[in-house]
C-alpha cells in the first residue's frame, strides 16, 4: 500500500510499504478514508528527527471503514465507520479506568519514560505506524475505535481523533469561570476549536492571539476577539485594558514548542536537528530546546490566581520556566496529551444533533490525496495558501 513516511528534516515522501495485517487478537485493520495533518506533525517534520527512523509512517488523526478485526475485538465489525483516537490505550488499566487514556499503563513507553503510545509519533511514543496511509493496523482496537453513524461527510467526525478532544480538554483544564475571559495563543485548528468550545460553554470573551492574517480572520469568524501579535506592542497591558485591569481569567497555549520569537530555543532546535541522532537525543534532555515565548507570555498576561492550560506540545527536559512569576501570581497550570476517549461522550452529541454548533464542517481548508501529502507538509509549515487544516483522502472524496 501507499503511505506517507518520514525520511529526514523537512523530508516526507509517499512510499510503497507492506499492507498491515492483524498481529494481535486485539488489533483491527481499517481502510483509511480521511486522515488529518496536525500541528504536532510539524514538530516531527522540523524538530523531533532524532526520535524517528527513515521510513516511519506518520499520521495520528485517521478515520475509515473496518476491514478486519482480531478475535478479541467485539464492539466493531467489518464495514463499520470508525474514528481512531491518537492515544493507543487499553481501556482497563488503572490510568484508563481513571480516564487518563494518554497515560495508559499497558502501552506506556517505559524505555523513554513516556506515557501511552501514540499513532505515528516517534520512538518516544512507541514508533507505532501511523494513519496517513491507505490502510492502518489499529492496536488495542477492542477499546479505541469510536463508531460513528453514516450520513454526514468524514469532516464531521474525523476531528474526534485529536483536534476536538484536545481542544475540549484545553478548555476544561483552563477552568474558565462562568462568564469569564480566556486568551488563546495560537489560532491553528487546536486554538480555533478551543475558542469555539470556550464560547459554546459560556466564556464571555475569547481573545484569539496569532500573527497569521487568515487565522486571525477565522478566529474572528468563530467569535473570538482577534489580537494580532505583530500589531500589539505590549500584550499584557493590552489584555489588561480589556479585562478590568487584571488580565484574562485563563490562558490556553495552543502553540507549543515552535513558537515564533524565541531565539534561544530556536538555536537549540536547529543544532539538535542537524546532529546525528545519538548526539542529538541528549540535547533534548540537557538543553532548553523548546521555544518558550508563549509560555512566558501566558505567565505575564494571566490574571493573578488564574489558570494556564497547555495543549501545545513541549519536548525538552531541562527548559527554564518562569517559576518565580508563576508562583508569585498563584497560577494553576494543567497540561498534557489529550485523553481522547474521556471527552467523546461530551462531544459526539454536538456532531450528531441538529446543525453543527462547533462548525467542524468548515474547519478543513484543504482536502488532498495522499500523493499530495509531502507538498501539504511544506505548505502547512510555511503557512501558505491559506492552509489551516488539511485532511488527506487516500481513497478519494469521503
Ligand atoms: N495536547 C495534545 O494532545 C495535542 C494534540 C494536538 C496538537 N497539540 C499541539 O497543539 C499545538 C497546536 O496545534 P495546531 O494543529 O493547531 O498547530 P498549528 O501549527 O496549525 O497552529 C499553531 C499556531 O500558533 C501560531 N503561533 C506561532 N507562534 C506564536 C506566538 N508566539 N504567539 C501566538 N501564536 C503563535 C501560528 O501562527 C499558528 O497559527 C501544537 O504544538 C501541537 O503539537 C497538542
Ligand atoms: Zn494531531
Ligand atoms: Zn490502559
Q: Is 210 in the pocket of ligand 1 (CB under 6 A)?
A: yes
Distance 102 CA to ligand 3 centre (A): 8
What is d(CA 367, CA 109) in angstroms, rounded to the nearest whole number? 33
C-alpha cell belonging to residue 43: 514538530
H/E stretch holding 252? strand 250-253
- pLDDT tens for the chain, residues 1 to 398: 999 999 999 999 999 999 999 999 999 999 999 999 999 999 999 988 889 999 999 999 999 999 999 999 999 999 999 999 999 999 999 999 999 999 999 999 999 889 999 999 999 999 999 999 999 999 999 999 999 999 999 999 999 999 999 999 999 999 999 999 999 999 999 999 999 999 999 999 999 999 999 999 999 999 999 999 999 999 999 999 999 999 999 999 999 877 666 555 666 666 666 666 766 666 665 555 567 788 889 999 999 999 999 998 877 666 667 778 888 899 999 999 999 999 999 999 999 988 999 999 999 999 999 999 999 999 999 999 999 999 999 999 99
Distance 211 CA to ligand 2 centre (A): 21
Which residue has 495560537 as its cell numbers?
186
Among protein residues, the one with the nearest Cα to ligand 1's atom 14 is 39
Q: Is 39 in the pocket of ligand 1 (CB under 6 A)?
A: yes
What is d(CA 138, CA 283) in angstroms, rounded to the nearest whole number? 33
Contact 29, 68 (CB under 8 A): yes
3-state helix, strand, coil in the chain (%, to 5): 35, 20, 45
Among protein residues, the one with the nearest Cα to ligand 1's atom 11 is 312
C-alpha cell belonging to residue 104: 495508559
> By C-alpha distance, which of 267, 254, 75 is closest to 173?
254
Contact 137, 20 (CB under 8 A): yes
pLDDT score of 287 = 54
Distance 37 CA to ligand 2 centre (A): 7
Distance 118 CA to ligand 3 centre (A): 12
Please state whether the predicted TM-score (pTM) of the whole model is above 0.85: yes
Q: Is 211 in the pocket of ligand 1 (CB under 6 A)?
A: yes
DSSP string computed for 57-95: B----EEEEEEEE-TT--S--TT-EEE--SB---SSSHH
Return the ligand 1 atom nearest residue 187 CA: 39
DSSP state of 258: B
Indicate the SS3 state at residue 122.
Answer: coil
Pocket test residue of 60, 122, 301, 312 for ligand 1, highest count of atoms within 8 A of CB: 312
Return the ligand 1 atom nearest residue 260 CA: 28
Distance 389 CA to ligand 1 centre (A): 12
Please, where are the H alpha helices in the chain?
A: 39-46, 94-97, 155-158, 163-174, 189-200, 213-221, 235-241, 263-274, 277-286, 293-301, 323-328, 340-352, 373-381
In the chain, what are the domains?
A: 2-162+339-392 (3.90.180.10), 164-335 (3.40.50.720)
First-to-last C-alpha distance (Å) of the chain: 19
C-alpha cell belonging to residue 343: 471527552
Amino acid at each position: 500500500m501507499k503511505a506517507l513516511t518520514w525520511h529526514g528534516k523537512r523530508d516526507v515522501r509517499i512510499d510503497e510499504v507492506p499492507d498491515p495485517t492483524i498481529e494481535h487478537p486485539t488489533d483491527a485493520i481499517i481502510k483509511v478514508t480521511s486522515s488529518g495533518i496536525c500541528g504536532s506533525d510539524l514538530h516531527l517534520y522540523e524538530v523531533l528527527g532524532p526520535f524517528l527512523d527513515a521510513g516511519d509512517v506518520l499520521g495520528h488523526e485517521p478515520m475509515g471503514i473496518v476491514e478486519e478485526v482480531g478475535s478479541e475485538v467485539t464492539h466493531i465489525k467489518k464495514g463499520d465507520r470508525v474514528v481512531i483516537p491518537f492515544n493507543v490505550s487499553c481501556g482497563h488499566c488503572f490510568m484508563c479506568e481513571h480516564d487518563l487514556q494518554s497515560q495508559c499503563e499497558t502501552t506506556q513507553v517505559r524505555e523513554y519514560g513516556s506515557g501511552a503510545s501514540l499513532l505515528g509519533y516517534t520512538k518516544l511514543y512507541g514508533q507505532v505506524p501511523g494513519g496517513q496511509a491507505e490502510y492502518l493496523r489499529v492496536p488495542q482496537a477492542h477499546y479505541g475505535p469510536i463508531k460513528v453513524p453514516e450520513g454526514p461527510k468524514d469532516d464531521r467526525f474525523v476531528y474526534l481523533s485529536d483536534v476536538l478532544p484536545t481542544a475540549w480538554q484545553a478548555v476544561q483544564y483552563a477552568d474558565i469561570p462562568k462568564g469569564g475571559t480566556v486568551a488563546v495563543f495560537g489560532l491553528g485548528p487546536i486554538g480555533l476549536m478551543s475558542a469555539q468550545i470556550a464560547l459554546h460553554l459560556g466564556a464571555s470573551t475569547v481573545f484569539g492571539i496569532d500573527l497569521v492574517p487568515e487565522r486571525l480572520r477565522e478566529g474572528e469568524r468563530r467569535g473570538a476577539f482577534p489580537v494580532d501579535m505583530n500589531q500589539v506592542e505590549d500584550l499584557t497591558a493590552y489584555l489588561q485594558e480589556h479585562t478590568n485591569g487584571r488580565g484574562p481569567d485563563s490562558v490556553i497555549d495552543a502553540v507549543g514548542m515552535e513558537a515564533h520569537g524565541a531565539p534561544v530555543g530556536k538555536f537549540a532546535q536547529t543544532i539538535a536537528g542537524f546532529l546525528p541522532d545519538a548526539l542529538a537525543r541528549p540535547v533534548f534532555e540537557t538543553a532548553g530546546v523548546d521555544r518558550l515565548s508563549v509560555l512566558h507570555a501566558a505567565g505575564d498576561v494571566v490574571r493573578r490566581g488564574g489558570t494556564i492550560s497547555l495543549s501545545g506540545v513541549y519536548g525538552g527536559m531541562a527548559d527554564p520556566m518562569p517559576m518565580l512569576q508563576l508562583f508569585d501570581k498563584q497560577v494553576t497550570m494543567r497540561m498534557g496529551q489529550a485523553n481522547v476517549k474521556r471527552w467523546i461522550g461530551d462531544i459526539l452529541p454536538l456532531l450528531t444533533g441538529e446543525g453543527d454548533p462547533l462548525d467542524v464542517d468548515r474547519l478543513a481548508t484543504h482536502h488532498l490525496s495522499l500523493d499530495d501529502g509531502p507538498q501539504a507538509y511544506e505548505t502547512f509549515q510555511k503557512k501558505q495558501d491559506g492552509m489551516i487544516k488539511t485532511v488527506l483522502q487516500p481513497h478519494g472524496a469521503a
